[in-house]
C-alpha cells in the first residue's frame, strides 16, 4: 500500500501566534503540517493534505486566512494523535488588536476551497 507524503504546503502567510500555538498543541509534535495559507494562496494541496490525513486518522494541522473587509480572520483545523478533531477560529481588528479566539471539538471535519473552508460537525458532548 502506497503512503502519501505531504510536505509543508506553504509557510508564506503569517498566521497569528495564538492560532499557530494552539494548532500545534492540539495536533502534537509529530503531526503533519498541511500549511498556513494566506487568502489568495492556492489551497488545493493543503486541503488534499488535511483530507487525506484525516481519512487515515493521522495527526495534522492546517491554518487558512479568510476574507474579511474589516478584520483579520483565520480558520484552523487539527487532528491530534488521540484522534480528536478541532476547528479553530481567530478574528482581530486590522492592527491585530482585540482578538477573539475559539476552538470547537468536532465529530467530523469537512474541507472545501471556498470562503468557508473548514466545516465542523460539533461534538455535542464537549464542554
Exposed (0-12), middle (13-18) or buried (19+): which is 29, by Cβ within 10 Å?
exposed
Per-residue model confidence as pLDDT tens digits over 62-110: 999 998 888 899 999 999 999 999 999 999 988 888 899 999 999 999 9
In a domain, 11, yes or no: no
Which whole number is the average pLDDT over 100-124? 90
The rounded distance, in Å, linking the Cα atoms of 45 and 111 is 12
In a domain, 72, yes or no: yes
In a domain, 80, yes or no: yes
In a domain, 79, yes or no: yes
CB 76 within 8 A of CB 88: yes
Domain count, the chain: 1
Instruction: Write out the residue range of the structural domain in which residue 30 sits.
Output: 17-122
DSSP assignment of 71-111, as one string?
SEEEEEEEE-TT--EEEEEEEE-TTS-S-EEEEEEEEEEEE
- Calculate the dihedral angle through the C-alpha atoms of 29, 59, 120, 7, rounding to the nearest 10 degrees: 90
In a domain, 105, yes or no: yes
Q: Is the pLDDT of residue 3 over 80?
A: no
In this structure, the strands spanning 32-37 and 60-66 are parallel
Amino acid at each position: 500500500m502506497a503512503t502519501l507524503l505531504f510536505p509543508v504546503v506553504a509557510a508564506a502567510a503569517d498566521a497569528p501566534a495564538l492560532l499557530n500555538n494552539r494548532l500545534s498543541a492540539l495536533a502534537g509534535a509529530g503531526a503533519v503540517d498541511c500549511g498556513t495559507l494566506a487568502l489568495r494562496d492556492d489551497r488545493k494541496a493543503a486541503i488534499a493534505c488535511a483530507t487525506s490525513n484525516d481519512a487515515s486518522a493521522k495527526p495534522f494541522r492546517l491554518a487558512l486566512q479568510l476574507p474579511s473587509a474589516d478584520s483579520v480572520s483565520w480558520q484552523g483545523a487539527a487532528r491530534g494523535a488521540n484522534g480528536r478533531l478541532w476547528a479553530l477560529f481567530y478574528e482581530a481588528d486590522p492592527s491585530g488588536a482585540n482578538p477573539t479566539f475559539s476552538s470547537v471539538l468536532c465529530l467530523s471535519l469537512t474541507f472545501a476551497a471556498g470562503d468557508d473552508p473548514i466545516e465542523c460537525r460539533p461534538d455535542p458532548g464537549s464542554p
